[in-house]
């Protein structure tokens, strides 16, 4: 393999640039040319390729976002769009791909390889930490720390005004951001898709706290919770406990930005190296990940279809520490 492409797709995540840098420098180390594909699959279809070398990725490891930019492509979902992407890769002599993204990115890569035979190794880049086959995804640690900083600040005003704050964090269909924010931020309740905690149960917990003369509360709500978003949950609880002075804060996309933590820079670098060397060793349709501090390669079909379970001991910690 003499020439590979690297791209980022889907939502941006802190640490993606560390992964891009590692891909470029690992390929260069092994005498392989690297082309950056701008704007994910959309750029692949349009032929937006930029040759990268070690100098191209200097001073990027500490930057948030992605220097290759990201986009979601409707055209790539069609056979015609994938044909155009394949033609662009062939015309530019690209023999393999490193895809940095989440399960949508990997689903596209898997179909692409099955149709056209372009080998791809994935790097798990998403703040949601919802990919099976790795303990942590690139961007997750930074997102948790960003969200937790916000929770700490909101706790100050909640305590000052005797209020109940409902704080919505990201995570799509996963509670991986919400749970450590609840534990680290001293929340009384955390509502995540995995536990399907009812609004009625939350009402009972808050009512019990109120009866014990507790005057301020923090409720963390994952955006994908089955009971709805934070505004929905807050409205139901306010109706049941009208004496509560309630406020809602949606942290939003601030969780996706910012300089990556040391953990995300290290993880992005590890995975970037592993992705390139995986391609060199003939791997395809797999995601590089770290499980129990060991490098593993998981088939795309497993990362997409298998559910990553929540650590139940964390849920027990929330219950014990919120009493």
Cα 144 from Cα 212, distance rounded (Å) = 31
- Which pLDDT value is given to residue 94? 98
pLDDT at 261: 98
Structural domains in the chain, sorted by start: 3-139+260-305 (3.40.50.450), 141-256 (3.40.50.460)
28: Cβ–Cβ under 8 A, 6 or more apart, which residues?
34, 53, 54
Question: What distances in angstroms separate CA 227 from CA 93, 106, 191, 252, one per listed residue?
Answer: 50, 29, 8, 18
Q: Note the pLDDT of residue 84.
A: 98
pLDDT value of position 188: 93
Q: Are 60 and 21 in contact (CB under 8 A)?
A: yes
Q: Largest Cα–Cα distance in the chain?
A: 71
**pLDDT of res. 310:** 85
Length of the chain: 323
Residues of the chain short of pLDDT 50, as ranges, are none
Task: Tell me whether residue 73 is annotated as binding.
Answer: yes
User: β-strand 286-291 against 294-299: which pairing, if any?
Assistant: antiparallel
Asked if residue 223 belongs to a known ligand binding site, the reply is: yes
Residue 171 marked as a ligand binder: yes
Ligand-binding site membership of 316 (annotated): no
Query: Is 105 assigned a ligand-binding role in the annotation?
Result: yes
Please tell me the predicted confidence (pLDDT) of residue 322: 75
- Choosing from 12, 128, 130, 141, the catalytic residue is 128
Model pLDDT, residue 202 = 93
Q: How many CB atoms lie within 10 A of CB 190?
A: 29
Distance CA 106, CA 286 (A): 9
Annotation marks residue 128 as catalytic: yes
**Is 280 annotated as a binding-site member?**
no
- The answer to whether the annotation marks 82 as part of a ligand binding site is no
Q: Is 284 annotated as a binding residue?
A: no
Please tell me the pTM assigned to this model.
0.95
Residue 170 assigned as binding residue? yes
């Amino acid at each position: 393999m003499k020439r590979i492409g690297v791209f980022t797709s889907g939502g941006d995540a802190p640490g993606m640039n560390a992964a891009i840098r590692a891909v470029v420098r690992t390929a260069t180390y092994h005498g392989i040319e690297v082309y950056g594909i701008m704007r994910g699959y959309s750029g692949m279809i349009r032929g937006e390729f930029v040759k990268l070398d070690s100098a191209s990725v200097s001073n990027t490891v500490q930057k948030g976002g992605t220097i290759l930019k990201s986009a979601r492509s409707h055209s790539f979902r069609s056979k015609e769009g994938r044909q155009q992407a394949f033609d662009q890769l062939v015309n530019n002599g690209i023999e393999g791909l490193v895809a940095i993204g989440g399960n949508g990115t990997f689903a596209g890569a898997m179909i692409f390889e099955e149709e056209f035979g372009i080998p791809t190794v994935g790097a798990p880049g998403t703040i949601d930490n919802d990919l099976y086959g790795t303990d942590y995804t690139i961007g997750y640690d930074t997102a948790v720390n960003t969200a937790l900083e916000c929770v700490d600040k909101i706790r100050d005003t909640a305590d000052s005004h005797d209020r109940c704050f409902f704080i919505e964090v990201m995570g799509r269909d996963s509670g991986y951001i919400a749970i450590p924010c609840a534990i680290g931020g001293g929340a009384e309740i955390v509502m995540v898709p995995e536990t399907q905690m009812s609004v009625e149960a939350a009402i009972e917990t808050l009512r019990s706290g109120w009866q014990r003369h507790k005057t301020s509360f923090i409720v963390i709500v994952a955006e994908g919770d089955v009971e709805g978003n934070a505004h929905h949950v807050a409205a139901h609880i306010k109706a049941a406990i009208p004496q509560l002075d309630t406020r809602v804060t949606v942290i939003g996309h601030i969780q996706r930005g910012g300089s990556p933590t040391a953990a995300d820079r290290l993880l992005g670098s590890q995975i970037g190296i592993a992705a390139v060397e995986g391609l060199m060793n003939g791997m395809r349709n797999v995601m590089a990940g770290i499980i129990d501090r060991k490098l593993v390669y998981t088939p795309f079909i497993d990362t997409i279809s298998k559910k990553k379970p929540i650590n139940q001991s964390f849920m027990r910690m929330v219950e014990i520490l919120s009493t």
